[in-house]
C-alpha cells in the first residue's frame, strides 16, 4: 500500500534566504523531504505524522521581510517521485562532473554521476552539496580513505570513489538516505563503497585520510572532536551545511581539536571549508 503524503506548495518572495530558513524550520516539525522550485519550495510530510496547527510555530511565516503563502494537497508516494522528475534538472560542476537523474541524457564528461534522489538530500543543486563536489574535484583523492558523513544520496562518496579514493565509507542516520545511497552506489558502479546507517557513534576506532561532512552547524560542532580523532596524519576535513556567520564558531572548534583552516568556498551565504591537521 502506497504511503500518503501531504504536499505543501510554498510561494516565497523573495525566495532567499527565506527558503533555506523555512526548510530548516519545517524539518523540525516533521516534514521530511523538499523540492525547491522557482517560486519557493514543495514540502512533504506523511499524512500519519501531520497534526493540526503544524505550521503555527514557524517564525519565518511571521517575518515582515518575506511574503509566504501556501496550499496543500494529498499525494501518493508514486506521484511524489514524479515531482522530482519535473523539478530535478541535471547540473554541471566545473567542466568535469555532471550530476543527473536516470531519465536525463548523458553528456561527455569525465565524471558522470547518476542520482535517483527519491526522498534523500544531496543532488548537487543546493549550494552546500555543489561546493563539496567542487572541493572533491580540486583535491587529490587517489588512494585515500574517505568518509562521507551524512551522505544523503551518496553523491559525495561516489565522486570521491570515481576520483580514485578507497576505501570509502558512507554514513547517514536517516533510513531513506541509507537505502538511497545503497541504490545510487550500485547505479554508479561503485559497489566498493560501504554504506552504514547510524551517526558518529559508528566511528569508534575508525581512521580516514579525508572526511566529508555536509550536515548542519549544531551537529558539526558536536562531532568535530570525533572527526579530528578519526583523521590520519596530514588528514583533510571538508565541512559544509552552515552559513558564513557560523564560520568563526566552526573554525574555533576545529582549532581546539588540532585542525587548521585552509580554504573556504562561498555561495549565497552558504560556505564549505577545508581544514587540515
Phi, psi (5° rounding) for residue 10?
-95, 125
Does pLDDT of 2 surpass 60? no
Residue 115, sorted as left (phi over 0), alpha (psi -120 to 50) or beta, turns out to be beta
Q: How confident is residue 85, by pLDDT bands cut at 50, 70 and 90?
A: low
* Residue 91: other Cβ atoms inside 10 A: 16
Q: Is the pLDDT of residue 172 over 80?
A: yes
Mean pLDDT of 202-219: 93
The string of DSSP letters for 119-183 reads: T-S-SS-SHHHHHHHHHHHHS--TT--EEEET-TTSHHHHHHHHTT--SEEEEESSHHHHHHHHH
pTM of the complete model beyond 0.85:
no
Confidence of residue 242 (pLDDT cuts 50, 70, 90): confident
User: Is residue 176 pLDDT above 70, yes or no?
Assistant: yes
For residue range 131-143, list pLDDT tens digits in order. Answer: 999 999 999 999 9
Which pLDDT score is estimated for 84? 60
Residue located via cell numbers 558536536: 222
Amino acid at each position: 500500500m502506497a504511503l500518503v503524503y501531504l504536499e505543501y506548495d510554498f510561494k516565497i518572495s523573495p525566495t532567499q534566504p527565506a527558503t533555506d530558513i523555512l526548510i530548516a524550520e519545517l524539518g523540525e516539525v516533521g516534514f521530511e523531504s523538499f523540492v525547491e522550485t522557482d517560486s519557493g519550495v514543495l514540502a512533504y510530510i506523511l499524512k500519519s505524522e501531520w497534526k493540526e496547527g503544524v505550521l503555527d510555530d514557524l517564525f519565518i511565516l511571521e517575518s515582515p521581510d518575506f511574503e509566504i503563502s501556501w496550499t496543500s494537497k494529498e499525494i501518493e508516494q508514486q506521484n511524489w517521485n514524479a515531482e522530482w522528475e519535473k523539478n530535478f534538472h541535471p547540473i554541471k560542476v566545473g567542466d568535469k562532473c555532471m550530476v543527473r537523474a536516470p531519465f536525463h541524457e548523458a553528456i561527455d564528461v569525465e565524471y558522470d554521476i547518476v542520482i535517483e534522489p527519491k526522498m534523500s538530500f544531496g543532488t548537487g543543486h543546493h549550494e552546500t552539496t555543489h561546493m563539496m563536489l567542487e572541493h572533491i574535484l580540486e583535491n587529490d583523492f587517489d588512494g585515500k580513505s574517505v568518509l562521507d558523513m551524512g551522505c544523503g544520496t551518496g553523491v559525495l562518496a561516489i565522486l570521491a570513489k570515481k576520483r580514485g579514493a578507497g576505501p570509502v565509507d558512507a554514513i547517514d542516520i536517516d533510513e531513506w538516505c541509507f537505502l538511497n545511497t545503497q541504490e545510487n552506489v550500485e547505479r554508479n558502479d561503485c559497489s566498493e563503497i560501504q554504506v552504514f546507517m547510524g551517526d558518529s557513534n559508528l566511528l569508534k576506532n575508525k581512521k580516514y585520510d579525508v572526511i566529508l561532512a555536509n550536515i548542519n552547524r549544531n551537529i558539526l560542532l558536536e562531532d568535530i572532536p570525533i572527526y579530528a580523532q578519526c583523521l590520519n596524519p596530514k588528514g583533510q576535513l571538508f565541512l559544509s551545511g552552515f552559513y558564513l556567520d557560523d564560520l568563526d564558531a566552526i573554525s574555533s572548534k576545529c582549532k581546539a581539536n588540532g585542525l587548521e583552516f585552509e580554504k573556504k568556498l562561498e555561495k549565497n551565504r552558504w560556505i564549505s571549508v577545508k581544514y587540515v591537521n
